[in-house]
Amino acid sequence: MQTFEKLMKLDRRWVYLLLIIVCVWSYIADFTVPILVEPEVRSIHSFIDSLPEGDIVMIAIDYDPNNLAELHPMTYAMVEHCWRNKVKTIFTSLSQNGPGMCDQALRDLTDSMALDREYNGVEYKGREIVNGIDYCFLGYKPYFAIVILGMGQDFRLPFPTDYYGTPLDSIPMMKGVINYGQCACVIDISGGNITDAWISYGQGRFGFPLALGLTGVMTAQYYPYLGSGQVFGIMGGLLGAAQYEELADNPGRAKDGMRVQLFAHMVIILFIVMGNVGYFASRRRLKQEGRA
Amino acid sequence: MRRQIPFALVFIFGIFMVFQYFVPHETSEWAYEFLLDWIIVIGIFALALGIWSLFKVSVEKIKLGKEGAKYSYLTLVGLYLMVAFGFTQQTGGSLGFGYFVWIVLCSACIVALMRLRAVSDSGAKRMWGMVSLVTLVAAVLVAIFDDAWAFFLYTPEGLQNSMFRTFFDYVMMPILATMFSLLAFYIASAAYRAFRARNVLASLLLIAALLVMSRFNPFIPGAEYVAKASNWLMNVPNLAAQRAIVIGIGLGIVATALKVILGIERGYMGKG
Amino acid sequence: MKHKLMIGVLFVLFGMSSLWAQTEPVEADSAVVDSTELYPAPVSHLRATDKPNDHGHAIVVEWETSADDGGGKNNVVLYQVFRSMSFDGPFDSVGTAPAGEGRFEDIGSKDRSSSSFIPDDTDLFYQIDAVTADPAIRTPSDILDPVQSSGQWFNTGRVPVLVAVLIFGLLTGIFVTSAKRGRELYVRPIGGIEAVDDAIGRATEMGRPILYVLGLGTAADVATIASFTILSRVAKRVAEYQTELIVPTYDPIVMSVAQEVVKSSYFDAGRPEDYKEECVFFVTQSQFAYVAAVNGIMLREFPATNVYMGKFYAESLLLAETGSLAGSIQISGTDEIAQIPFFIVACDYTLIGEELYAASAYLGREPKLLGSLKAQDWAKAAVVVLAIVGLVAANFGWLEFPTLFRVID
């Protein structure tokens, strides 16, 4: 019976150790996990797929390096999907370390776009992605709620120049682009409270189609907005990113990470079951001792 | 008077912002944008205040020799380094050896100044004073005579600084990502401790957690049904509960905002 | 003679045949279509109005689609909208609408220097072209009578919000007045708040500090404002018991306000000399750097009590688990729904959602605060009743009821 009590009161360091071993093994091992795509992720992919060439999508990179593992793959998959379909993008970063994340993603993606690729059976020729023609990076400003409201009037209000110091009026793709009205949709990829501001101050005030890319922990909280139609799609956590990669036929870090997540969850379930077994066994023993 | 003026300001601006929501006219919009601009200005000044607070606390810790004072050295040097990288950029092909010498000299100067404040012995004070003076003069001379780099106070150039990028990409990003990944281990230990079927409600919580975690696990038997059950859980009960909490919180926010505007809620002014 | 006659007859015959050859030229291709048949029918019933409920600089243009859009020749692919400031032009293109669409919003910038500026209170003339796949083949409409844009002073689409705010304000007024007159208003016990005093006592007995975390919100967040009230209460008790208080902050403005709150509390407790400004300090505005700093404080100082009140995100479990490792008693409160489960799991007491906002009323027991709390509860009850009525109405097809609450922006 002492074994069961030990099961219930296991030192947390054993939990950590087993988790580390399983995570490392599943990362090193080379196998794929089948990904089932959810409707809320498919709606984002279909929306971008349906956009004609030359349309503009606004992508808000509102996360910090701490959310890199979950949200960066989403950004990579989605931006490459847009650019392969010749959809232009406006980037903004309303989190402090967001510009660094966006800058890194832009560098990597412009290199990737130079190569010929095949996605979903369609051949895409490599092309040069030009700042100011294919994308515009507005940069970062503090007090995100104010910036979101300002961009609803005119992008030039909070961002008279882009991240690199070029006046917005002299950027070719920004000619005639005043505010959200000229964007097909806004996609907010965020790991914190900035999403609430996009929903209430952005979508609530200006009525543009809004989709979200969120960390796994936050996803459950935003389902009500999906249900009410304020948001047309949600990519939740690493799973959401993997689903988007699956739809875009562009396997990347998310699909690799799903292996690790799957087995990590199995370890957590194992410990929960162990803890409950120990709990029920101890309770039974106490009852029996009580009767005796 | 000292209390009346802030309350009056809160009331006036609070009522204005409430009415502004219902008045779309350009005049109202202009006033609103004007106020938004000022919020940014106040925020920037407050940031300076915050950095000064951090600096003061770190210096105090070093001066009093408190436990963990070594972290305060790191804080100050780290703060200086990123500011220095952000405001400098190479003028030629590379930053050059002189740039790193300048960085080291400035860091040494900061450490020496902190030690100067911390020590009480006059001999030690003189020594650290000399060290800080020498390192400061050397840093200034290097900055004046080294042409491989320059100060660019307008940020875009600084953000292209290779050292800034290196520290961001290879120090800050991994550290922050590591902190977040600690959550995985903490969730495991918290789940192990907390998910016990002590009563009916705890059992429901346990079953829901197991279902959602097994959502897209293709290896468990009946995976398709588990996924469907999990989706139903997320889209029906979870949605209902979240909406209820959101409505409650929304009303709470309206009530608290009204209390603040009308001066009923004064906790933020220091009176409980 | 005969030769001359023969030549003359032949000449006449040749002449007659060449005369016939000079008659109506035969068309080379009898299949050439009359070019006017390519052109689509124009749009009709064109009308333009000022866009309602906006700041001006916008016009809504509507029309009935061309007869050849989806029918007839079915060759209309889009409608191109032109605008001019005079009837005689020049007309500039301001946008397009796809085939099948009979509406276009011409939204301009209010910035005079912008190329898309539309002046208010100025005559504007519109014309719509029905355009085919060949952009050269198009049919313009008549030029519309002049229309002017202007800003409105009241957004009629937000009337439901105004009514709700007024009703809520009225309820608050009624209950506050009622409470001031001495009416007893019951508030159920909230375990987390009641535990604060005991936790402070525990810290004093153990000689260890109290760590108060205001969360990651700004001073404008309601959760942070509610947290200030609880902080003032905690600081007052801490001043009375002469325990150490540590308040690391995430936002510089929050730091300034928190310093004032704690200082006032020390004054109220009659111990102004015990107040140390360094007890409330700014750490960083980076989420996980802040968490790392607070965790470091927990593992060095080993506070007896950790109080987490405010807005928290992913770091909530990191803070709570580390506090648990340090052996602290933990009281938390947040309105972030996703983080509530983590606090419930890892903390000893948790204030869920609006319990955090009720804390100020609960702690102070002031009639005005209790009255507003009651108003909040009544408003919630009203929402529940309206939701049930709406459910019944939707099921019985009375869809006018939900539209009463629709907010149009």
SS3 sequence of chain A: CHHHHHHHCCCHHHHHHHHHHHHHHHHHCCCCCCCCCCHHHHHHHHHHHHCCCCCEEEEEEECCHHHHHHHHHHHHHHHHHHHHCCCEEEEEECCCCHHHHHHHHHHHHHHHHCCCEEECCEEECCCCCCECCCEEEEEECCCHHHHHHHHHHCCCCCCCECCCCCEHHHCHHHCCCCCHHHCCEEEEEECCCHHHHHHHHHHHHHCCCEEEEECHHHHHHHHHHHHHCCCCEEEEHHHHHHHHHHHHCCCCHHHHHHHHHHHHHHHHHHHHHHHHHHHHHHHHHHHHHHHC
pLDDT at C30: 42
Among A72, A116, A103, smallest CA distance to A252 is for A72
A273-283 pLDDT tens trace:
888 888 888 88
Does C109 contact A192 at a Cβ distance shorter than 8 Å?
no
A166-176 pLDDT tens trace:
999 999 999 88
Average pLDDT of every residue of chain A: 89
d(CA A286, CA C3): 149
Q: Are C149 and C124 in contact (CB under 8 A)?
A: yes
B28-54 pLDDT tens trace:
888 888 887 888 788 788 888 888 888
pLDDT at C7: 59
CATH of domain A35-251: 3.40.50
∠ at Cα C219 (C217, C220), nearest 5°? 90
Q: Identify which of B187, B245, B257 has the shortest CB distance to residue C353.
A: B245
Residues 6+ apart with CB under 8 A from A238: A69, A70, A73, A216, A254, A257, A258, A261
The last residue of a domain, from among B178, B193, B226: B178
d(CA C94, CA C88): 17
Q: How far is B226 from chain C (nearest CA, A)?
A: 22
Answer yes or no: is pLDDT of A152 > 70: yes
Is B109 in the same domain as B125? yes
Interface of C with B in 178-217 (CB under 8 A): none
- Give me the domains of chain C, ranges plus CATH numbers: 36-140 (2.60.40.10), 156-184+368-403 (no CATH), 191-364 (3.40.50)
d(CA B164, CA B169): 8
Does B268 contact C354 at a Cβ distance shorter than 8 Å?
no
Encoded tokens for C108 = 């301009």
Query: If you search the block for the tokens 């009530």, which residue do you land on?
Result: B255
Q: Which residues of chain B does A15 touch, with a Cβ-Cβ cutoff of 8 Å? A: 185, 188-189, 192
A106-141 pLDDT tens trace:
999 999 999 998 888 888 889 999 999 999 999 998
User: Is residue B183 within 8 angstroms of chain C, CB to CB?
Assistant: yes
Average pLDDT of every residue of chain B: 84
B131-159 pLDDT tens trace:
999 999 999 999 888 888 888 776 565 66
Measured between CA atoms, the residue of chain B closest to residue A275 is B192
Encoded tokens for C263 = 């200082």
Does the interface ipTM go beyond 0.85? Answer: no
Q: How far is C314 from chain A (nearest CA, A)?
A: 7
The percent of residues above 90 in pLDDT, for chain A, comes to 51
Is B92 in the same domain as B56? no
d(CA A186, CA A46): 14
d(CA A175, CA C61): 23
Measured between CA atoms, the residue of chain C closest to residue A96 is C286
Q: How many CB pairs under 8 A join A and B?
A: 131
User: Is residue B2 within 8 angstroms of chain C, CB to CB?
Assistant: no
Answer yes or no: is pLDDT of A66 > 60: yes
Encoded tokens for C4 = 């001359």
Is B159 in the same domain as B190? no
Q: Which ranges constitute the DSSP H helices of chain B?
A: 4-22, 26-64, 69-86, 97-118, 122-145, 155-159, 162-167, 173-194, 200-213, 223-235, 237-261
Q: Which residues of chain A does B215 touch, with a Cβ-Cβ cutoff of 8 Å? A: 239
Residue burial C141-160, b: 16+ Cβ < 10 Å; e: rest: bebbeebebbbbeebeebee
Q: Identify which of C110, C286, C338 has the shortest CB distance to residue A221.
A: C338
3-state secondary structure of C106: strand
Q: How many CB pairs under 8 A join A and C?
A: 48
d(CA B139, CA B102): 5
A28-62 pLDDT tens trace:
988 888 888 889 999 999 999 999 999 999 999 99
Q: Identify which of C285, C286, C337 has the shortest CB distance to residue A221.
A: C337
Is B140 in the same domain as B172? yes
Interface of A with C in 64-93 (CB under 8 A): 64, 66-67
User: Is residue B131 within 8 angstroms of chain C, CB to CB?
Assistant: no
Is B59 in the same domain as B70? no
Please state the length of chain C.
409
Encoded tokens for A220 = 């459950």
Is B121 in the same domain as B192? no
Residue segments in chain C with a per-residue pLDDT below the cut of 70: 1-37, 408-409
The last residue of a domain, from among B64, B83, B114: B64
- C329-334 sheet: strands from edge to edge: C280-282, C245-249, C210-215, C305-311, C329-334, C349-352
d(CA B165, CA A106): 14
Instruction: State the residue range of the domain holding B58.
Output: 1-64
pLDDT at C3: 61
Say what the pTM is. 0.77
Supply the DSSP symbol for C66: P
pLDDT at B159: 64
pLDDT at B234: 81
A216-262 pLDDT tens trace:
888 888 888 888 899 999 999 999 999 999 999 999 899 989 989 88
The percent of residues above 70 in pLDDT, for chain A, comes to 98
Q: Are C91 and C142 in contact (CB under 8 A)?
A: no
Measured between CA atoms, the residue of chain A closest to residue B188 is A268
C202-226 pLDDT tens trace:
999 999 999 999 999 988 888 999 8
Q: Are C132 and C138 in contact (CB under 8 A)?
A: yes
pLDDT at C330: 95
Backbone angles phi, psi at A85, to 5 degrees: -90, 10
pLDDT at C403: 80
Supply the DSSP symbol for C124: B
Q: Are A101 and A74 in contact (CB under 8 A)?
A: no
Residue predicted with more confidence, C311 or B263 = C311
Does C278 contact B57 at a Cβ distance shorter than 8 Å?
yes
The last residue of a domain, from among B129, B157, B178: B178
Residues 6+ apart with CB under 8 A from C87: C125, C143, C146
Is B146 in the same domain as B215? no
Is B27 in the same domain as B117? no
Q: How far is C138 from chain A (nearest CA, A)?
A: 23
Q: Are B258 and C373 in contact (CB under 8 A)?
A: no
pLDDT band at residue B272 using 50, 70 and 90 as cut-offs: very low
Residue predicted with more confidence, B4 or C333 = C333
Number of domains, chain B: 3
pLDDT at B271: 53
Residues 6+ apart with CB under 8 A from C163: none
Among C191, C244, C185, smallest CA distance to C365 is for C185
Q: Which residues of chain C does A202 touch, with a Cβ-Cβ cutoff of 8 Å? A: none
Answer yes or no: is pLDDT of B216 > 80: no
Answer yes or no: is pLDDT of B86 > 90: no
Q: Are C223 and C334 in contact (CB under 8 A)?
A: yes
Answer yes or no: is pLDDT of B166 > 90: no
Q: How far is C297 from chain B (nearest CA, A)?
A: 9
pLDDT at C270: 92
